[in-house]
Amino acid sequence: MMQKPFKVALAGLGTVGGGVAKLLSEQKDVLAKRCGRPIELCAAADLNEARLKELGVSENVKYYNNALDMLRETDADVIVELIGGADGIAYELCKTALNAGKNFVTANKAMIAHHGNELAEIAEEKGVFFGYEAAVAGGIPVIKALREGLVGNRISEVYGILNGTCNYILTVMRETGRSFAEVLAEAQKLGYAEADPSFDVDGIDTAHKMCILGSLAFGMPIDLKALSIEGIRRISDLDIAFARELGFGIKLLGVGRRSEKGVSLNVYPCMIPRSSSIAHVDGVFNAVITEGDFVGHSMFVGRGAGEKPTASAVVADIADAATGRGLPLLTVSRSDIVTLPVVPLSERVGEYYLRFEVCDKPGVVADISRVLGEENVSIASMIQRGKTAEGAVPLIMTLHESKEASVCNALNRIERLESVLAKPCMIRIERL
């Protein structure tokens, strides 16, 4: 015998919220069979009342222009927040709902990155479901993979392409040879990048997602401050071209590793061999790779944003809430969360790509090589080409494995050389 309907109250009817409303309507028969009970949208909050009619789901759905009023006045079984933002109404709605003993589902990675530990504590105290599958990598079920499918593994690495905007920009730069500024402007016209693209291209969005993945993978508190964050603004068409010549592609990655020293969580553009599987994840697609002690290497690829993929992830959480499935927000109870030492990026030991803009005169290479040698940094290869339109000569070097602190010290000294005309560009090489 089928149980009574599971009622959903939805805050935010934008792109993703609209997708959720349509999915719940169009897939209601499938969901009822798979969940053992009907899933019904009973209320929705949005600043635009006409939105419900536009979506074709206004029948039997009560409209509110204030999400907190909706929470107070409905008897929904789960509150779904798709407003966004680390603070403000989204955060207030979340805390109020959890304290009232309501199940809660969100796609809000910024809120979880900034307040996840506090929200986990409230959800645990109240014994309610908290779902956030859609907060990381859109339609890729990577949260479920870490929390459920890989539950029997100790994870030593988790890394991936977590921002479709940056991946699209780097892909088009590689395919067309155009500059970052040109491709960014095109991405904005196509709607792949916001009018203010800082959140994406400066790595902040990736960092929000990475600190969530790091917490789940390594059993540590969510700690956005633990991350070193670097975006893609300084990647030039020259770097893309030289990367191809050297057998690499450039991707913005979130990289998490656990070692005997502790945990490193970082966001940065890096060169990866074209033979690597993740190097071929292009356009707006995302990919997440994990390394587990029993399962080994696992790769998850799919659309990281958009109406339908993200709505699919949100509804997966709603279904879990309806069927009584689910784990604590941080997978284990807060008493089992362990604060681990954070290994700073300066301790990284790896290979590097360097690009210098130098004067065309004798002795320049010798001066740069001398400084690198004095900092115990060894050159692996070197490429020198003709002058740029500005009259500088690009000098490209790759380095053998070196400590990042030593490389940075060398670059600070090299930048002050009279023959070096611009701030050197450094890109880490990751042989994933």
Separation between Cα atoms, residue 279 and residue 250, nearest integer Å: 8
Complete DSSP assignment for 28-92: HHHHHHHHTS-EEEEEEE-S-TTHHHHHT--TT-EEES-HHHHHHH---SEEEE-S--SSHHHHH
pLDDT in tens, 351-384: 999 999 999 888 999 999 999 999 999 999 999 8
Write the CA distances from 245 to 48, 236, 238, 357, 390, integer angstroms: 52, 14, 11, 18, 22
pLDDT tier at 191 (50, 70, 90 boundaries)? confident
pLDDT tier at 388 (50, 70, 90 boundaries)? low
Q: Which two tokens stand for residue 371?
A: 């400084």
59 pLDDT above the threshold of 90: no
Residue 21: phi and psi, rounded to 5, are -60, -45
Residue with tokens 């969510």: 222
**Phi-psi label, residue 232: left if phi above 0, alpha if psi -120 to 50, beta otherwise:** alpha
> Which amino acid type is present at position 72?
R
Closest CA to 83 of 9, 11, 10, 8: 11
- The DSSP bridge pattern shows strands 155-161 and 62-64 to be unpaired
Give the number of residues written for the chain. 432
Q: Residues 6 or more apart from 179 whose CB is under 8 A from it?
A: 173, 236, 237
Q: What is the average per-residue pLDDT within 122-142? A: 94
Residue 382: phi and psi, rounded to 5, are -145, 140
Burial of 344 (0-12, 13-18, 19+ CB in 10 A): middle
Separation between Cα atoms, residue 406 and residue 372, nearest integer Å: 8
The Cα angle at residue 179 between residues 176 and 183, in degrees rounded to 5? 75
**Is 225 labeled as catalytic in the residue annotation?**
no
Residue 427: phi and psi, rounded to 5, are -130, 130
| Residue 395 CB neighbour total at 10 angstroms | 20
- Domains in the chain: boundaries: 153-300, 348-429
Which one is catalytic: 102, 109, 144, 209? 209
pLDDT at residue 93 in the model: 98
Q: Which two tokens stand for residue 57?
A: 């789901």
pLDDT at residue 280 in the model: 95
Q: Are 173 and 182 in contact (CB under 8 A)?
A: no
Burial of 153 (0-12, 13-18, 19+ CB in 10 A): middle
Write the CA distances from 34 to 2, 9, 10, 39, 323, integer angstroms: 11, 20, 21, 10, 9
Q: Are 300 and 141 in contact (CB under 8 A)?
A: yes
> Which amino acid type is present at position 236?
S
2 pLDDT above the threshold of 70: no
Q: How far, rounded to the nearest angstrom, does the alpha carbon of residue 235 sit from its chain's CA centroid?
A: 19
Residue with tokens 């790509």: 353
| Residue 68 CB neighbour total at 10 angstroms | 15
Q: Which two tokens stand for residue 32?
A: 């009822």
Second CATH level (architecture) for the domain 348-429: 2-Layer Sandwich (3.30)
The residue among 204 and 332 whose pLDDT is bigger is 204
Q: Which two tokens stand for residue 181?
A: 């500024």
Complete DSSP assignment for 263-290: EEEEEEEEEEETTSGGGG--TTEEEEEE
Q: Are 146 and 213 in contact (CB under 8 A)?
A: yes
Mean pLDDT of the chain: 94
153-300 fold:
Dihydrodipicolinate Reductase; domain 2 (3.30.360)
pLDDT at residue 16 in the model: 94
pLDDT at residue 390 in the model: 67
pLDDT at residue 379 in the model: 96
pTM above 0.85, yes or no: yes
pLDDT tier at 194 (50, 70, 90 boundaries)? confident
* Rg of the chain in Å (alpha carbons): 24
